[in-house]
Amino acid sequence: MLPPGYGFGDIAKAIELAHALQERFRDAPKEFQVMRHHIENLRNVLQELDGTGAIRQQDFQQHQLGPIVHECETLLEETQATLYEYDCLLIKANGFRSKCAQLWKRLRFEPKKVTRLESRASANFGALNALLGLSSRETTLKDTILAWIAEVDLAGDHDGKLRRKTPGTLEWVAETAEFKKWISEKNQTIYCPGDAGAGKTTFTAKVVYDLFTVHRDELGNVGICFLYCSFNDKSHHTLESLLATLLKQLLLHRPLPESIKSRYHTYHQRHQRLSVDEIMKELRVAIKARSKAYVVVDGLDECDEGCRYKFLKMLKSLRDQRDDNGTSSGQTDVKILVTSRPFPKIAASLGEGILTMPICARRNDIFKYLDLAREEFDQHYLLDDSWTSVKDEIVRIADGKFLMATLSFNCLGSKTSVKATKEALKILPRGAGAYDAMYDEIMTRITDRESHRRELALQALSWIVYAKRSLTTTELQHALAIERNSSALDPENISREDIVSLCAGLVTLDEKSSTVKIMHKTAKEYFERNPNRLSPNVESTIAQSCITYLSYEAFKTGFCPTEEEFAIRLLANPFYTYAASFWGQHAILASLASKDTLEFLKDAKKVEASAQALHVYKDSLKYYSQETPKDTHGLHLAAFFGLEEEVDMLLCTNIASELRDSYSRTPLSWAAVSGNCKIIEMFLKEGCHVDTKDKFDQTPILLAAQKGNLEAVVVFLGHGADPDVHDVYGRSSLSWAAERGHNLI
């Protein structure tokens, strides 16, 4: 709380006073020059504090700031009065009488009075500057802790999503009875289903924007958190990531609780993050501290089913403010909004009495989009009457789907006459299968281009569609530049083509993360149904490219011995992290054990280098590459990725099945971490000890339980593994599973 009678508007008042005094001091005589300097310093530090959000978030700083700002105001007002008293000293005298009056004022001037003002100004400046420094340190620590809480930011490119909204559209949302009821009724939930392409994500961005606009002056008391579940990054849709994203946002506009700081200082040293249970506890605390909290979730159907319904259960407990024992406590008004494709089970999981508001593109909104698009395409040959008929037909084709309206209009972009436009409208696809027909048309336009542009577009689309996570533009450029059997990347082979335009609108650029993504889930589904529209044997090509990259001579030195060298390696080889992290998954899907793969796995230095990139821990400030295991063998990597043929071939070369890395972990332990049951069975049949311990006294079953790999835990139990073994932290398999929220284990 702010001190009585004090608000942040008082800082603005003090700044205004200081500015006015500076103007009056502009031509001041020597008696006021020192004071002028102090006033300038005061104004500068007040402006910095006014622009510092951390001050508004720190209660103890607010209590300190109030009296200081009040003293500044008093000082500035007294200085102003003193200036009025000696006003003629600031004015150039003209004439004998004026000069005599000015001389008399100079004789009566009291330097001690100004000196006292100078001393007070200097003291206030020092106090404010100290507070600003404290605020800066608090802000840095807070930013670091928030980044640690949510490693993956599922809030996504919110601003980019909002920019896609046509001005003036979706104004109807706030006027619907359902939305008004959601806003007005306490602890209300609204489910907003919509077909593919209906505009759910843009709708969500609009709702979030409006909530922040309405509550912009009370964000310390009203929590607003949101997340976008993107089909492009499904690997990030874990229960921990979803909940951590919400917690991070709720902590943004308030002082960090001491419990969070304490957990950070404890866990950060061990490179651990909050468990699901701990996140839920902190979420309850953050919500209880507010009078109202909004939770907005877009595209929940993109999460896999197991995660989806656990998340919904936890959202309900937050809304009902129930603790682990099911006891309801707290008076906060918690409102939940969820969008997805129509899933009755999602609606049922949200509980009884929820509101439902279907999302679809309305006629007036499509008209506004088309009018703006017409201006951008400069299609002024379409006069008002003909343009209205074109819009009406597109609305019929769209059938409530914004995406279909967009694709339909894009198909008309090359037309140059009313007749050609109307003829094209007649043959535009509609109804079931319309999306596939639209994408067929776009792919035809791509394949009709000259060969080098066609091939580059198809290769780019292959990478974008089949990559295991979104690629940055630089990663994609390097991926496209990889040449089979090369020992280094040729910089001259890096294409500078605009990939977005090359792919005819099928991909978009996320400006916040600089990642290139497929433009809509319907497009991704189209390519999954029609893999032959892209390059043949895509998974095999990608797996081979990754292996080629990992085998480059640049990595023959092996493990980077310093953080600086590791950072330089990643900077010089931007595709390295992706290749090291996902080559095995692509190899599995390609069902191909290649000679190149085996050669790579036998190269100890390159294997050790890739394992460092695979397992490196990174927080908001730096990598911790020196705390990843060394002495990694190809058998460790093959076991981790579940490459059965490669494991079998390596074992046939008389490699010890229980060789250990620097953490004293065997390939069996690596397989336990990733949950590859067939590989686990292979090693156990080889005679590997089921309860082998690493340097932390962690057994394979404990590692599997820690990661939530239920099937692997079952396999280990079937082979007699001891689930009660405790590690150096005093934790068992059960306690690790419980802390991480793996309830089935």
- Three-state DSSP class for residue 336: strand
Q: Any residues with CB less than 8 A from the CB of 13 and at least 6 apart, and which?
A: 73
User: DSSP string of 470-483?
Assistant: PEEHHHHHHHHH--
Torsion of CA 438, 441, 446, 449, to 10 degrees: -160
Range with lowest mean pLDDT among 87-91, 444-448, 632-636: 87-91
Q: Is the pLDDT of residue 11 over 90?
A: no
Angle among Cα 472, 476, 478 to the nearest 5 degrees reads 120
Task: Quote the DSSP letter at residue 199.
Answer: -
Q: Is the pTM of this model over 0.95?
A: no
Q: What is the mean pLDDT of residues 24-33?
A: 61
Where would I find the beta strands (DSSP E) of 170-320? Answer: 189-193, 222-228, 292-298
Which one-letter amino acid corresponds to residue 17? L
Range with lowest mean pLDDT among 97-106, 131-140, 358-367: 97-106
Domain-located, residue 529: no
- Between the alpha carbon of residue 147 and those of residues 221, 513, 533, the distances in Å are 22, 15, 40
- What tokens does 476 get? 């994609």
Domain-located, residue 556: no
- What tokens does 89 get? 């000293």
Which one-letter amino acid corresponds to residue 26? R
Domain-located, residue 3: no
User: Which contiguous run of DSSP H or E holds residue 256?
Assistant: none
The predicted-structure confidence for 530-557, as pLDDT tens digits, reads as follows: 988 998 789 999 999 999 999 999 999 9
Exposed, middle or buried: residue 272 (CB in 10 Å: 0-12, 13-18, 19+)? middle
Task: Quote the DSSP letter at residue 508.
Answer: E
76 and 207, same structural domain?
Answer: no
Which one-letter amino acid corresponds to residue 229? C
The predicted-structure confidence for 651-686, as pLDDT tens digits, reads as follows: 998 888 999 999 999 999 999 999 999 999 999 999
Residue 59 is predicted with a pLDDT of 43
Q: Are 192 and 339 in contact (CB under 8 A)?
A: yes
Q: Could you tell me the CATH number of the domain that includes residue 182?
A: 3.40.50.300
Domain-located, residue 108: yes
Domain-located, residue 347: yes
Q: What is the mean pLDDT of residues 385-405?
A: 89
Q: What is the length of the chain?
A: 745
- Whole-angstrom Cα distance, residue 477 to residue 579? 14
401 and 341, same structural domain?
Answer: no
Helix axes 363-377, 384-398, angle to 10 degrees: 120
Domain-located, residue 660: no
**Which of 374, 293, 285, 373 minimizes the C-alpha distance to 333?**
293
Residue 427 is predicted with a pLDDT of 82
Of 356, 389, 410, the domain-final residue: 356
The predicted-structure confidence for 404-427, as pLDDT tens digits, reads as follows: 999 998 888 667 777 888 888 888
Q: Are 484 and 548 in contact (CB under 8 A)?
A: yes
For 271, what's the count of Cα atoms within 13 Å in the CB-facing half-sphere?
Answer: 12
Q: Any residues with CB less than 8 A from the CB of 322 and at least 6 apart, and which?
A: 328, 329
What backbone phi and psi angles, to 5 degrees, belong to 140?
-60, -45
167 and 26, same structural domain?
Answer: no
335 and 386, same structural domain?
Answer: no
Task: Provide the domain limits for residue 50.
Answer: 9-147
Domain-located, residue 376: yes
What's the N-to-C CA distance of the chain in angstroms?
Answer: 45
197 and 111, same structural domain?
Answer: no
- Whole-angstrom Cα distance, residue 1 to residue 51? 19
What backbone phi and psi angles, to 5 degrees, belong to 229?
-90, 100
What backbone phi and psi angles, to 5 degrees, belong to 217?
-95, 5
333 and 194, same structural domain?
Answer: yes
The predicted-structure confidence for 213-239, as pLDDT tens digits, reads as follows: 999 888 889 999 999 998 877 777 889
Domain-located, residue 545: no
Number of domains the chain contains: 3
Q: Is the pLDDT of residue 528 over 70?
A: yes
Exposed, middle or buried: residue 546 (CB in 10 Å: 0-12, 13-18, 19+)? buried
Q: What is the mean pLDDT of residues 314-340?
A: 84
Of 147, 171, 193, the domain-final residue: 147
Alpha helices in 86-198 (DSSP H): 96-108, 111-149, 158-163, 177-184
Helix axes 305-319, 239-251, angle to 10 degrees: 30
Task: Quote the DSSP letter at residue 492.
Answer: G
Angle among Cα 134, 135, 140 to the nearest 5 degrees reads 100
Residue 164 is predicted with a pLDDT of 87
